Structures are given as structure tokens and as C-alpha cells.
């Protein structure tokens, strides 16, 4: 499994973000030179069928797959790992209890209480035997908790101290709603930037990795300088629109 290895090399990775429940589009994203593909079941249109079938296409292109579950759907977190996803992103993790419940679903004992049954994962990651998968899964598969409220930001150090949490993922849009007390959505709010840098710094100091969603691709270099190791680059409609705009501009001169 590649994602953990690549994150440990401390390079900056970019994941595509699949929201359309179309296998063709998920496969097309995996064929682009992204480092990984994230399948979104929170705000994306994916159901279990399209998400799990997408994982096969992502794997066929040699890419790691991540899955974002809907809020609190920790049953889907274990299932995603069983289906070969290398990481699960849990939205709205606001307390140690939220983080612990998520980690419990993601990790085998003694760290958590994930139940055994990774048949599809073993088929995709065929270098593993059941025994080697069991021994390495707690380290190689990643539980990523989203920081997207002031409450989560205030609890960051405690969330990072939950052993089964491998990293955090900032949702700057939701965080901006919480930051502004519900006044509006602005993922690039100037008064939030120090907090974003602080999250990356404290996460790194805790020996874990920080990821973030880049609504604007041009924010990515700034996030990388802050210390984020994984950036999600907008969504599949965003990629299609940007590609169309560029090609039309070239065509029309
Ligand atoms: C947010 O910015 O709130 C996100 O969840 C990004 O997907
Ligand atoms: Mg969000």
C-alpha cells in the first residue's frame, strides 16, 4: 500500500476528488497524473456500489484510493478498508469521543475494534497475506479526522493524541463558516490563515500528517509551505470546467 509510504517520504501529494458516481469519471481521474483519488460519499453522489467499484478502477491505474464517509458513518469506514481503500477521511470530528469512535472502526485490536474481513483488500493488495495484512493494516491504512469547526481546532492537541488517528484533514469551507460564527463561506478567509498554519505545525510536531482541501488550486503552494503533505485539488466538476475553459481559450485564441 502506497499512501503511507509516500506520506512518510514527506513529499507533497495531490489527490483528485471524485464526486460524480460515474465509474468512467473516477477512472478518468485515476488516469490523470494525480498521486491518489479520493471518493466522496459525504457531499459527492457516490453510493457504496459506485464507491467500491471506483476503488477497483483507481487501483487498476496504480493509485491509492481514499474514501470520505458521511458524518458519523463509521460502519462505512471499516467497510471502505475491506474494499481496498488505503485511507478514510471522517468529516466533522469535533471531540475526542468522535475521534475515538472513528479510530475504533479503523483499527484492529488492540488499537480499536475493526472486525476481520478484508477479502477485497487482499485481492487488490495481493502482496499481502492475511497474516501480513493483519500485522501491518493498523499502520498502513490511515484514519484521517477532519478539522472543520472552531471546536475541533480548540481540541486539536487532544484529537492528535488519539493513538488510532493518523492525520487530520482541514475542510476550510466548513471551518470558515464556524470561524465566522455562521456569517458566510470563504475558504480563503485572511483571518483563518494563521490557524491553518498552526494546524499543520502542531500536527507535524505530534508526528502525524496534515491534509487540506484546496478550493483554489493556487492555494496549494501556500499550504505546502505551511507543512501540509496532502492537498485535495477541487472536485471532478472543477477539473472538467477548468479543462474546458483552458481548451476553449486555446481554441478561440
Ligand atoms: C470543507 O472545506 O468543509 C470540506 O469539507 C472540503 O471538502
Ligand atoms: Mg466540510
- DSSP assignment of the chain equals -HHHHHHHTT--EEEEEE-S--HHHHHHHHHTT-SEEEEESSSSS--HHHHHHHHHHHHHTT--EEEEPPTT-HHHHHHHHHTT-SEEEES---SHHHHHHHHHHHS-TTT--PPS--HHHHHHSTT--HHHHHHHHHHHSEEEEEE-SHHHHHTHHHHHT-TT--EEEE-HHHHHHHHTTSS---TT-GGGHHHHHHHHHHHHHTT-EEEEEESSGGGHHHHHHHT--EEEE--HHHHHHHHHHHHHHHHH-
Mean of the pLDDT values across residues 37-45?
A: 98
Number of the ligand closest to the Cα of 235 = 1
**What is the per-residue pLDDT for 1?**
79
Considering the chain, what percentage of its residues have pLDDT values greater than 90?
98
Mean of the pLDDT values across residues 154-174?
A: 98
Number of the ligand closest to the Cα of 232 = 1
Task: State in Å: Cα 211 to ligand 1 middle.
Answer: 11
Q: pLDDT tens-digit profile of 74-118?
A: 999 999 999 999 999 999 999 999 999 999 999 999 999 999 999
Mean of the pLDDT values across residues 32-46?
A: 98
> What is 2-252's CATH superfamily?
Phosphoenolpyruvate-binding domains (3.20.20.60)
In DSSP terms, which residues pair with 214 in a beta bridge? 233
Cβ–ligand 1 contact at 40 (below 6 Å): no
Cβ–ligand 1 contact at 171 (below 6 Å): yes
Task: State in Å: Cα 57 to ligand 2 middle.
Answer: 26
**What is the per-residue pLDDT for 222?**
98
Residue owning the nearest CA to atom 6 of ligand 1: 171
Do residues 211 and 229 lie in contact, with contact meaning Cβ atoms separated by under 8 Å?
Answer: yes
pTM of the predicted model as reported, rounded to 2 decimal places? 0.98
Task: State in Å: Cα 251 to ligand 1 middle.
Answer: 33
Considering the chain, what percentage of its residues have pLDDT values greater than 70?
100
Which atom of ligand 1 lies nearest, measured to the CA of 68?
A: 7
Ramachandran quadrant class, 163 (left: phi over 0; alpha: psi -120 to 50; beta: rest): alpha
Cβ–ligand 1 contact at 44 (below 6 Å): no
Cβ–ligand 1 contact at 84 (below 6 Å): no
Task: State in Å: Cα 91 to ligand 2 middle.
Answer: 6
Mean of the pLDDT values across residues 44-57?
A: 98
Q: pLDDT tens-digit profile of 174-185?
A: 999 999 999 999
Cβ–ligand 1 contact at 173 (below 6 Å): yes
Confidence of residue 211 (pLDDT cuts 50, 70, 90): very high
**pLDDT at position 5 over 90:** yes
Confidence of residue 127 (pLDDT cuts 50, 70, 90): very high
Pocket test for ligand 1, best of 171, 234, 236 (most atoms within 8 A of CB): 171
Copy the grid coordinates of residue 143. 484514519
**What is the per-residue pLDDT for 122?**
98
Mean of the pLDDT values across residues 138-164?
A: 98
Number of the ligand closest to the Cα of 174 = 1
**What is the per-residue pLDDT for 189?**
97
Confidence of residue 15 (pLDDT cuts 50, 70, 90): very high
Amino acid at each position: 500500500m502506497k499512501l503511507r509510504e509516500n506520506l512518510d517520504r514527506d513529499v507533497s501529494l495531490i489527490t483528485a476528488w471524485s464526486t460524480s458516481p460515474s465509474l468512467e469519471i473516477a477512472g478518468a481521474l485515476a488516469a490523470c497524473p494525480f498521486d491518489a483519488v479520493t471518493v466522496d460519499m459525504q457531499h459527492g453522489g457516490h453510493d457504496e456500489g459506485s464507491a467500491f467499484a471506483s476503488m477497483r478502477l483507481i487501483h487498476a491505474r496504480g493509485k491509492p484510493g481514499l474514501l470520505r464517509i458521511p458524518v458519523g458513518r463509521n460502519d462505512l469506514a471499516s467497510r471502505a478498508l475491506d474494499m481496498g481503500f488505503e485511507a478514510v477521511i471522517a468529516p466533522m470530528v469535533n471531540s475526542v469521543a468522535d475521534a475515538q469512535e472513528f479510530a475504533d472502526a479503523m483499527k484492529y485490536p488492540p488499537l480499536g475494534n475493526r472486525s476481520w474481513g478484508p477479502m477485497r483488500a487482499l485481492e487488490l493488495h495481493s502482496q499481502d497475506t492475511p497474516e501480513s495484512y493483519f500485522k501491518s493494516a493498523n499502520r498502513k491504512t490511515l484514519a484521517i479526522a477532519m478539522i472543520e469547526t472552531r471546536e475541533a481546532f480548540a481540541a486539536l492537541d487532544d484529537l492528535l493524541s488519539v493513538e488510532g488517528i493518523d492525520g487530520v484533514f482541514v475542510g476550510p469551507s466548513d471551518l470558515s463558516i464556524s470561524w465566522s460564527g455562521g456569517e458566510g463561506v470563504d475558504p480563503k478567509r485572511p483571518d483563518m490563515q494563521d490557524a491553518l498554519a498552526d494546524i499543520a505545525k502542531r500536527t507535524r510536531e505530534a508526528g502525524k500528517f496534515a491534509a487540506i482541501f484546496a478550493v483554489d488550486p493556487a492555494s496549494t503552494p501556500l499550504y505546502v509551505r505551511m507543512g501540509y503533505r496532502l492537498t485535495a485539488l477541487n472536485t471532478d466538476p472543477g477539473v472538467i470546467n477548468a479543462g474546458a475553459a483552458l481548451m476553449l481559450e486555446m481554441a478561440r485564441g
